[in-house]
Amino acid sequence: MSEDLTGRRLGHYKIDGVLGRGGMSVMYRATDVRLGRKVALKVMGEHITGDSEFRERFVDEARNTSALDHANIVPLYDFGEVDGMLYIAMRLVDGSDLASLISEGPIAPNRAVELLGQVAEALDTLHEQGLVHLDLKPANVLVTSREASHEHVYLADFGLTRRGATGHRTSTGDFLGSPTYAAPEHLRGESVDGRTDLYALACMLFACLTGSAPYKGEVQEIIQGHLQSEPPRVTSRVVLPPAIDDVLRRGMGKTPEQRYGNCKDLVSATRNALSPLGKQGDQPPRPAPPEAPPSATQSPPSGPHPMSSGPVPPQAQPQHSPQPQPTAPPGTPPGGMAPPGTRPGAGGPGTPAGRGAPAGPPPVGAPGQPMPPGGPQGPGEPVRLRPPMPAQSASFAKKSDSTARWLVPVLAISVFTVIVVILIIAFG
C-alpha cells in the first residue's frame, strides 16, 4: 500500500507523518487542530474502504479499544469517517515498540519481566471482559519512558481482537495475523481464549530474553514449530537459570490446558525463576556456549533449530494472491489447499522501521505487491493462511496413496517377467 496522506487534512486532523504501515491501514502521527494536541491516527487503507468485511473489522477495532479502560491499553480519543475513509485517533505514545528493542538483542531479564508484567496486566483485563487479542507480538507493544519515572507499556492494535471462543477467521475461513507468535489452536482454526494470548506472551518472553522468536525460518517452518516442535530451551541460547526453561515449556504448552491459568501467573513464575540473578538481571544475558552435538541414540533436539527437519503440511503454506476464496465457512474442518489470497492489506511490515521513521517500501504481499515464492519475509509478517492440517493429515495419506498407485503395476510387471524367465529356462 503506497498511500501516504502526510501533509493533508483529514477532518480536523493535520497529518504530520507515518508511524507505521499495515496492509489494512496506515498509522500516522497527526495533530488535532481543534485541541492542538498530537495524536496517533490510524486510517483505513483507501483500497479497502469499499470492502464491507474490513470496514466492519475496523469499526470493531474502534469499539474494542474504546471498551478497554486500562493504564496499559492505548486510550482511544476519537473515531470517525471522512470521504469514506474510517479513522481512529488515539494517544500518541512517544517512545518505541518492543520489536525495535528486541531487534537490538536480548533484553535485561529484570527489564523484560517489568515490561511483560504490564502487558500481562492489560491482557488479563481484556480476557476478564471476554476478549482475546489474537495479534500479540512485539510490534504491538509500545514502550515509553517519557510518561513516568519508569518505563510504561501500552498494548496496542486491537484489529484482530475477538469476543468469545469462536475461532478467528475471515468470512472465507482464513487465518489472519502473524504466525511467529501464534498458538497452535489459533493456527489450526480451533477455538481460542485468553490462553491463546498467553502462549503468544510466552513466545514474546522468549524473544525478549534471547533476542529472537522461538521458531524461525519460512512461514511453513514457523507453523510447523508451533504445531509440533518442543519449545526450544532459552538456556540453549543465553546464560540464565535453568528454571526459566520449565516456565517457557508450560507457557508454550501445545494445548491451552497445559499452560498457566492467566498471564500474570506466567510473569510471576518468570520472576521467581529469574530471581537468583538478583542485580545481575539488570544486564542483558550472555550468549550460551555452543552445545555438544546430540549422540546418535538421542531423539531430535528441542534446541535452537527444532523445526528444520521433516515436511511441512502443504496446507500450512501461505496464500499468495488476493483473489476471493471459494472456501468452506469458518468452523469447517481444515481441508485441502485453498486458492491463493492474502489478508487484504495485512502484508505490512510486522515491525515498523522505527516509530517516526519515514515510511518504508510497500509491504510484501500487500494488494498489488507480488509475494515472493517463499512467502512473506521476516518474523512477524502478517499472513493470510488456510488452517493447517494436523500432522497425520490427509495430505500425507494422499502421498502414500500415490506411492501405492505406481507400486502395484511395477510389482505386477516384475512378477510377470520372473515367471516368463523361469518358463523359458524350464522349457527352452
Ligand X SMILES: Nc1ncnc2c1ncn2[C@@H]1O[C@H](COP(=O)(O)OP(=O)(O)O)[C@@H](O)[C@H]1O
| DSSP 3-state of 157 | coil
Q: Which CA distances in Å does 396 have to 44, 196, 314, 393, 401?
A: 41, 27, 9, 6, 9
Q: Which stretch binds ligand X (CB under 6 A): 18-26, 207-215, 219-227, 331-339?
A: 18-26
Sheet hosting strand 13-21, strand order edge to edge: 9-10, 13-21, 25-32, 37-44, 85-91, 76-82
Give the nearer residue to Mg ion in terms of CB position, either 27 or 274: 27
The radius of gyration of the chain's CA atoms, rounded to the nearest angstrom, is 25
CB atoms within 10 A of CB 370: 10
The label of the residue with cell 489472519 reads: 176
Nearer to ligand X, 78 or 265 (CB): 78
Binder of ligand X out of 1, 92, 234, 364 (CB under 6 A): 92
- Please give the backbone phi and psi of residue 56, each rounded to the nearest 5 degrees, phi first: -60, -40
Residue nearest to Mg ion (CB): 157
Determine if 186 is a binding residue for ligand X (CB under 6 A).
no
Residue 348 interacts with ligand X (CB under 6 A): yes or no: yes
Q: Is 42 in the site for ligand X (CB under 6 A)?
A: yes
- State which of positions 122-141 bind Mg ion (CB under 5 A): 140
What is the number of helices (H) and of strands (E) in the chain? 9, 13
Catalytic entry in 4, 32, 94, 135: 135
- Closer to ligand X by Cβ: residue 147 or 401: 147
Residue 306 vs 348, nearer CB to Mg ion = 348
253 binds ligand X (CB under 6 A): no
Active site residue 135: yes
Torsions phi, psi for 151 (to 5 deg): -75, 135
Residue that is written with C-alpha cell 531479564 in the block: 109
- Residue 25 interface partner, choices Mg ion, ligand X, none, CB cut-off 5-8 Å depending on type: ligand X
Which one of residues 43, 113, 156, 198 is an interface residue with ligand X (CB under 6 A)? 156
Nearer to ligand X, 126 or 142 (CB): 142
Minimum separation from the CB atom of position 211 to ligand X (A)? 19
Of Mg ion, ligand X, none, which one sits near residue 89, judging by CB under 5 to 8 A according to partner kind? Answer: none
Q: What angle do CA 3, 348, 17 make, to 5 degrees?
A: 45
Which is it for the CA torsion 405, 410, 413, 414, positive or negative? negative
Q: State which residue, 313 or 322, has the beta carbon closest to ligand X.
A: 322
Task: Kindly indicate which of the ranges 22-30, 174-182, 226-234, 257-265 contains the residues binding ligand X, using the contact rule CB under 6 A.
Answer: 22-30
Q: Output 144-148 pairs: Cβ under 8 A, ≥24 positions apart.
A: 144/93, 144/94, 144/95, 144/96, 145/95, 146/94, 146/95, 147/94
Give the one residue of 97, 121, 157, 197 binding Mg ion; rule: CB under 5 A.
157
Active site residues: 135
In the complex, which residues of this chain contact ligand X (CB under 6 A)?
Answer: 19-20, 22, 25, 27, 40, 42, 74, 90-93, 97, 139-140, 142, 156-157, 159, 348, 352, 355
In the complex, which residues of this chain contact Mg ion (CB under 5 A)?
Answer: 140, 157
